Chain A
Amino acid sequence: MKTSTFVLRRTAYAILTLFGLSILVFIIARVLPGDPARMAAGPRAPGWVVEQIRQQLGLNKPLYEQYFSWLFNLFHGDLGYSLYSQRNVSADVLEFLPASLELVFLAAIFEVVGAFTLGIIGGSYSNKWPDTILRIISYVGIAIPSFVLAIVLQLVFTWYIPIFPTFGRLSTDVLSPQRITGFISIDSLITGRLDALGNLGWHLVLPAFAVCAGGMLQDARIIRSGMVENQSKDYITMAVSKGMPTNLIRFRYLLKPSIIPAITVMGMDIASILANAFLVERIFNYPGFSKYGITVMLAKDLNGIVAVVLVVGIIFTIANILADIIVGYVDPRIRLMERGD
């Protein structure tokens, strides 16, 4: 199978899954106990008002009809009216999503760079003191919930050693660049506002680290054990006995097969980055999509909740497809194989 066919197939399947996800979140929002019309009207509204709102929102129609009209609107960029923000949910998504994507992107970079560095150090010095220290750190680090880590980081690096800003996206004395894409990173580059870019980066370091630390340590362990396992393979023994330079063996021949399982796991780890963002953005009061998500959830804004779950699902799916493509690029065996055979 050619790479393009593989990617196309993978994408088509992902789109089907996302349709399934849209049905699932729709069911969660409409079928689970909890009356959306009552939620919209408020607990003290009289019965006839609730009934009126029910008709207005189309909640009296059969469920499949509601779903298809919702889906129809979705393709027209209309995610429904948010009772929380009093405007269309799409507007909220456009406003808050860029900030979260910036955080997730930086966290993903941290995770990949950190995992590779730590994993290669651990694999190269296996069972010596750097490896032992890394192992202890990763055992404990994986067990630390992101929200605990975020609180500790905030406490240490903004209070005891105040070198990072405590919360927000930009400092109050830094003027936000003109909004073009909503991504401060891109906008500041377009408008040449490098001070804003630097300030944004400064604000992102702690949250991004808190969000990715657990996954980073887990991936480092996977890379490390892959390297240790492959070290005893025949082709490495041959390379060593032929007298190849250690670093050439390590980076050219040992690393490549060892990182393949880690890349798949990194694609899955985007899930934990996205999920952790829901907790960490709240702690750092970072005005992103996840903080918005928690707010609509606490406010029981159904259209908002459905949109949040769907958008996160889409980002996660894209990340997984990317990981699969990269794995296919690194490991031709996968590309040529059918699933499960």
Chain B
Amino acid sequence: MIRLAGNIYKKIGEFIDIDLARRRWFRFTRNPLSIVGLVIVGVALFLALSAPYITPYPQDTGFNTNFKEALQPPSLAHLFGTDDVGRDVFTRTVFGFQYSLLMAAVVLGVSVLPGVALGLTAGYYRGSWVDSLVMRVADIFIAVPALVLALAVTAVLSPSLLNAMLAICLIWWPWYARLTYSISSSLRNEYFVQAAGISGASPFYIIFREIFPNTLGPILTKVTLDVGWVILLGSALSFVGLGAQPPTPDLGTMVATGGRFLPEIWWLTIFPAIAIIMIILGFNLLGDGIRDIFMEEVR
């Protein structure tokens, strides 16, 4: 049994550098806040993935109504109380996690790759027309607050969860272009890049095999921090009614509609609001921890 475990350990070691992973884990765990972040993110992911199985009233995510139970304060049967049509707020909040994380995953999955590729290429060709074109277009997207541009795009496209994701994708890539541009344009004069060029490597090979690996740390840090900000932006869009439409259990929509019942009926607003805060806080702390890992490697 022990030998088997040892073999598995060795097998893994062939693929990843276990010593490096250990050192990284050590640096990550030196700040207790990073662990807090990891736990919050872990719990959020667990809740989101197992939402249909652990929530007491999964049917409440839709148009389900139960007026007999409407506007019940928090109790054992309804941990977070019920809303104006009798739906369980706890169930809807947990499903809200699902939609928020889905949105972040889709937006970052779609927008990071083109942003990174454009930034790397522009940085490698610094001073040429490619650089000017890509970075000036990126500047245009950054010349207006992200939320305002996202609001405008969703408004023109007609409000829905999908269009909100589209709009955020459209405005998110320039930040990654800027990040990788600065790294790429400073690395292009390093010896290892020049050596690759002299030995006949194509620009494509140099950009993606020589320069790209050096940007992974900052990109991973930014992606983690950005999960929180994408969720914030998404909830802001749905808060004003330009994001996910009812009956989708979206945290921003829940805060907005619950706001009408304040101050007496506070549980409709406060619980989804705390959920948003927790998820952003979790990813911020986790992102800081990941930055700690890579910051010291650079030094």
Which residues of chain A have a CB within 8 Å of any CB of chain B? 16-18, 20-21, 23-25, 28-29, 32-34, 139-140, 142-145, 147-148, 151-152, 155, 159-160, 271-272, 274-276, 278-279, 282-283, 293-294, 297-298, 300, 302, 305, 308-309, 312-313, 316-317, 340
* A17 B143 Cβ-Cβ under 8 A: yes
Residues of A near B6 (CB, < 8 A) are none
Residues of B near A293 (CB, < 8 A) are 148, 151
Sample of 6 more A-B contacts, CB < 8 Å, known A28-B153, A155-B266, A309-B144: A21-B140, A32-B157, A34-B156, A155-B263, A309-B152, A316-B144
A21 to B156, CA, bound (A): 16
Residues of A near B156 (CB, < 8 A) are 28-29, 32, 34, 300, 302, 305
7 closest residue pairs by CB, A with B: A297-B155, A275-B147, A20-B140, A143-B281, A275-B145, A271-B145, A143-B280
Partner of B144, one of A21, A33, A283: A21
A278 to B136, CA, bound (A): 27
Instruction: Across the interface, name the chain A residue whose C-beta is closest to B131.
Output: A340
What are 20 pairs between A and B in contact, CB < 8 Å? A17-B136, A20-B136, A28-B152, A139-B285, A140-B281, A143-B278, A143-B284, A145-B277, A147-B239, A279-B236, A283-B259, A294-B240, A298-B155, A300-B156, A308-B148, A312-B144, A312-B145, A316-B143, A316-B145, A317-B143
Residues of A near B232 (CB, < 8 A) are 145
Residues of B near A29 (CB, < 8 A) are 156
Residues of A near B185 (CB, < 8 A) are 340
If A20-B136, A297-B155, A305-B156 touch, whether A278 touches B147 (CB-CB below 8 Å) is yes
- Chain B 112-141 interface residues, beta-carbon cutoff 8 Å to A: 126, 136-137, 139-141
* B276 A309 Cβ-Cβ under 8 A: no
Instruction: Across the interface, name the chain A residue whose C-beta is closest to B283.
Output: A143
* A300 B155 Cβ-Cβ under 8 A: yes
* B143 A279 Cβ-Cβ under 8 A: no
Q: Which of B156, B185, B284 has the most CB of A within 10 A?
A: B156
Residues of B near A282 (CB, < 8 A) are 240
* B157 A278 Cβ-Cβ under 8 A: no
Number of interface residues of B (CB under 8 A): 47
A272 to B146, CA, bound (A): 9
If A139-B284, A297-B151 touch, whether A313 touches B144 (CB-CB below 8 Å) is yes
Task: Scan B78-109; emit 1 where CB is below 8 A from any A CB, else 0.
Answer: 00000000000000000000000000000000
Partner of B242, one of A147, A159, A297, A309: A297
Minimum CB–CB distance from B31 to chain A (whole Å) comes to 12
Partner of B143, one of A20, A278, A298: A20
* A151 B262 Cβ-Cβ under 8 A: yes
Partner of B236, one of A21, A145, A313: A145
Instruction: Across the interface, name the chain A residue whose C-beta is closest to B274.
Output: A148
Minimum CB–CB distance from B52 to chain A (whole Å) comes to 27
- B269 interface contact, C-beta 8 A: yes
A194 to B277, CA, bound (A): 40
- B160 interface contact, C-beta 8 A: no
* A147 B236 Cβ-Cβ under 8 A: yes
- Chain B 237-267 interface residues, beta-carbon cutoff 8 Å to A: 239-242, 252, 255-256, 259, 262-263, 266
A206 to B240, CA, bound (A): 19
Minimum CB–CB distance from B180 to chain A (whole Å) comes to 15
Residues of B near A142 (CB, < 8 A) are 284
* B151 A294 Cβ-Cβ under 8 A: yes
Residues of A near B252 (CB, < 8 A) are 147
Residues of A near B139 (CB, < 8 A) are 17, 20
* A274 B143 Cβ-Cβ under 8 A: no
- B273 interface contact, C-beta 8 A: yes
A142 to B282, CA, bound (A): 12
A160 to B148, CA, bound (A): 33
* A24 B140 Cβ-Cβ under 8 A: yes
If A294-B151, A312-B145 touch, whether A20 touches B137 (CB-CB below 8 Å) is yes
- B7 interface contact, C-beta 8 A: no
Minimum CB–CB distance from B35 to chain A (whole Å) comes to 14
Residues of B near A148 (CB, < 8 A) are 255, 273, 276-277
- B201 interface contact, C-beta 8 A: no
